[in-house]
Structure 1
């Protein structure tokens, strides 16, 4: 929401030009990606001021640039947003814009015919700052163990990324075979996937699917280890039961808890269309509300399909600002 408000205001005031949904951004002569860098810097600043702390910035970066592999910026970039000596907002924004943003945001999205689902457990949520603080306290008190788990988690994340890239490549090089395998596997539990292939390409695709699943199981394992050592419920037992049941459901590639974990939400990546997957009834039977949202690989853009947007634009254009 922060990103949407910032982008809307900057676009309306003529500071940036936000393209229509689905259009690519192009760089201008100053090397700024059609104003996206400006939207990003101001949205990050506003978000940090509202939060009262400097977070990872991943949520804002994703909202601006779209699905991505992210490496956070140096926190010093946004120091002025937390410094009480900075009294005026224009001064804060001016300082932030002068800083060197050293984050990375390389485009990265799910392979074709894979669908992301989000569920609301209805258990009250978790305090992310408190959980993060406990993990940092454990890191400082036991640097050897924490570094070992952290590295194993990073290795598992890299393995997951590699397998998803492999699936993307199979979809490009062997589209028909890839689509056939995904469609067939979407109707079966994971332990029956290998049985339905009859050619070498199909076998390679299924093996990559299974390797993707195994990489995410490792990620869940190391997140649980981190939570146990830090004394916080990164993957609470109640969520573990739901996630294990989810991963046994037909057509489910993997499932987990997003963000910092806890009781906020659960997610699943499934093969094929959610309308033909039993995950909806599986979640509903366990008190998890499936949300009517999906992955959108694009960043901030102007929407044209909603008639309410035209109504709002017409109303705004008639306002005189003095």
Structure 2
């Protein structure tokens, strides 16, 4: 039976750059853009000589990219050997597979290990699919003569084939890059694959869409295993230890996040060269199973607190179409600036951190005010959604309504402070964290009726812009963005994290979409 798991993409609303260092926090919103992983046996029954052979077959299919890769997985030392001629390997899935199987062997007792061996000898058939929102389809829309609107995006079939950006500037052939929208596709994909494999092999029981795991229960403990394996695989595949907010939100959903100490995955780094994500060299003193067992037992000191946008607020994401930005190079430039100018960088860092905390405080206040008196909250938000921010105080007569407006304006002012310090940091580091073109767009957006926040998510640059609107004011922003060649994406906040889709009607849609896609 096939297992279908999904994990969401993310938008880092606050904490860009700061979240790389403990104890700075970031607010990350998970979205309705989800990556799906489908896992099922490759064979109906094991081959007669499979026990002696000691290797099992693994097929990885990515229909959107027209790729199919075959592997052999050693059940003795968990080495993975690519047997396809394809040079388009996927290190995220490779490490996810190795580490999940290693975790299963580490966790299971003798009886369960024998059952695991039998299941693995049937082979693994893995299919990965990402919602259209993860990728840029601007070129396809324009080629069809359609306007740059969400409706045009919605007219595309689910899991549409992906276009590539060819780099012809060097005059040499290079590996084409997928045009992305910055929602964290690699983190969502890695998490979905890890979760589906762990569930398929019986290591964890994933929550369904309707389940809300509580701290301390088995579902929460199972998600911790998913998180640890996904973080480790993602870091090793990237060739660096990032902050991990993208994987954490893919597992647990929208949250306030403080990163883990890099030391927790040190045993995994020992068995695989962090500089070369394709290296499969194992330290003679440590097996993959032992290394992953050590990672599972490590003191994961990250912090996460539930967080989501207050009621009647909508997240919008826009693709400016001005080309992407390289987050690693931008992060490198900021770190270089911090070393060269410690005093000024520390001052800007502090102001940015304070503004982030202030925004978080006001958004939490709004959520509390909605709980205390939803009628007053609703009427205030509805009224403000039709007005520019300078007129929000008009008509707020009741005490609760005044408190709602104060919190809205406080959140707005904190966002302006965040943007100001992000620009300062960018100018000092010599990188376009909030490029001038984005500044004009965001200023105009924030001055529109019913807009409380607007900014560049994550590390900034040219990837995307976001806005948070009140009530039913989203349509005006979408219309304006379209008029200035910004494509509003079909992305909204969805606070749930990784989930099992096998009992969800959408699972049938996913598998049907897979079977309808032909791979040349």
Contact between 2:333 and 2:429, CA under 8 Å: does it hold in 1? yes
Distance 2:209 2:363 in 1: 25
Q: CA 1:214 to 1:35, structure 2 compared with 1: closer, same or farther past 3 Å?
A: same
| Structure 1 alignment gaps of length 5 or more | 316-322
- The structure richer in strand per residue is 2
1:132-191 C-alpha deviation (Å, 9 max, x unpaired): 001001101111111111011111111111101110111011110001111111111111
1:67-125 C-alpha deviation (Å, 9 max, x unpaired): 11111000111234444466265454233212210000011111111111111111111
Distance 1:109 1:77 in 2: 28
Name the counterpart of 1:15: 203
Which residue of the other structure, out of 73, 94, 99, is the alignment partner of 2:260? Answer: 73
| TM-score normalized by the length of structure 1 | 0.91
Contact between 1:163 and 1:209, CA under 8 Å: does it hold in 2? yes
- The structure richer in helix per residue is 1
| TM-score normalized by the length of structure 2 | 0.57
Which residue of the other structure, out of 151, 156, 164, is the alignment partner of 2:350? Answer: 151
Name the counterpart of 1:59: 246
Contact between 1:123 and 1:263, CA under 8 Å: does it hold in 2? yes
Distance 2:322 2:269 in 1: 32
1:199-245 C-alpha deviation (Å, 9 max, x unpaired): 22211211110111001100111111111111111111111111111
Name the counterpart of 1:320: none
Q: CA 1:34 to 1:74, structure 2 compared with 1: closer, same or farther past 3 Å?
A: closer
Q: CA 1:65 to 1:137, structure 2 compared with 1: closer, same or farther past 3 Å?
A: same
Contact between 2:223 and 2:251, CA under 8 Å: does it hold in 1? yes
Distance 1:5 1:245 in 2: 41
Contact between 2:231 and 2:247, CA under 8 Å: does it hold in 1? yes
Find out whether 1:286 has 2:481 as its counterpart: no
Aligned partner of residue 264 in structure 1, secondary structure: coil
Name the counterpart of 1:202: 401
| Structure 2 alignment gaps of length 5 or more | 1-188, 274-280, 516-520
Q: CA 1:141 to 1:32, structure 2 compared with 1: closer, same or farther past 3 Å?
A: farther
Which residue of the other structure, out of 434, 437, 447, is the alignment partner of 1:235? Answer: 434
Name the counterpart of 1:25: 213
Q: CA deviation at 1:289?
A: 0.8
Q: 1:225-264 alignment to 2 at 5 Å?
A: 225-264=424-463
Q: CA deviation at 1:13?
A: 1.5
Distance 2:400 2:261 in 1: 43
Name the counterpart of 1:272: 471
Distance 1:132 1:294 in 2: 27
Contact between 1:48 and 1:54, CA under 8 Å: does it hold in 2? yes
Aligned partner of residue 499 in structure 2, secondary structure: coil
Contact between 1:251 and 1:277, CA under 8 Å: does it hold in 2? no
Per mean C-alpha deviation after superposition, the further-off stretch among 156-165 and 293-302 is 293-302
Distance 1:311 1:199 in 2: 53
RMSD between aligned residues:
1.9
Contact between 1:111 and 1:164, CA under 8 Å: does it hold in 2? yes
Aligned partner of residue 116 in structure 1, secondary structure: strand
Name the counterpart of 1:185: 384
The structure whose Rg is larger is 2
Distance 2:221 2:469 in 1: 34
Q: CA 1:283 to 1:48, structure 2 compared with 1: closer, same or farther past 3 Å?
A: same
Distance 2:434 2:442 in 1: 9
Name the counterpart of 1:4: 192
Find out whether 1:121 has 2:320 as its counterpart: yes
Contact between 1:186 and 1:277, CA under 8 Å: does it hold in 2? no
Aligned length: 311
